[in-house]
Amino acid sequence: MASRMSKKLIRIALIIAVLTLVGGTLSCNSSLLSQKAPDFTLDTMTGANVTLSELEGTPVVINFWATTCPHCLVELPYFEAVAQGSAGEIEVIAINIGQSLSTVQSYFGEYEPTMIVALDANGEVFVKYSQKDNPQGYIPITVFIDSEGIVQHIKIGAFQSEEELWDTLDSVF
């Protein structure tokens, strides 16, 4: 068990190292802010797919996280509360980086989240969203996309409370 956990931590560290190298070479690019959000299609924890462009017409909040990130795990319930409390007016996608479906399912156990939990197993989507505004590859990172698919706000680091997340949503949307 310990060696499996070590291998997972090494895998995530390698993804972050690659992102740092990629970010350093692409740092001359402009920010994603006020730009069309990069489209993606990812598998979800339920076995379905989610495609960002298919959600146009609804504001979207994307949160990149991993089970090995303590700050990510503290704020994840805040995103679930938004998914539940927004009554479909805001779509929340929690994108797990570099971990297997079984690891993510194990984290949630029997709980079935309202938010979409997507799997970015190879980190490609994370790279798309981090190379311009987060070249160090920090997580968590949250991206706020308006109903027209335009990136309106990016937060690197964890929200300190559910209230802070709701306040950010109010100011962005």
The per-residue pLDDT for range 97-138, each reduced to its tens digit, is 999 999 999 999 999 999 999 999 999 999 999 999 999 999
Domains of the chain: 2-172 (3.40.30.10)
Which pTM value belongs to this model? 0.84
pLDDT greater than 80 at residue 21: no
> Among candidates 102, 96, 105, which has minimal Cα distance to 72?
96
Q: Which helix (H) or strand (E) holds 127?
A: helix 124-130
Taking residues 136-165, report their average pLDDT. Answer: 97
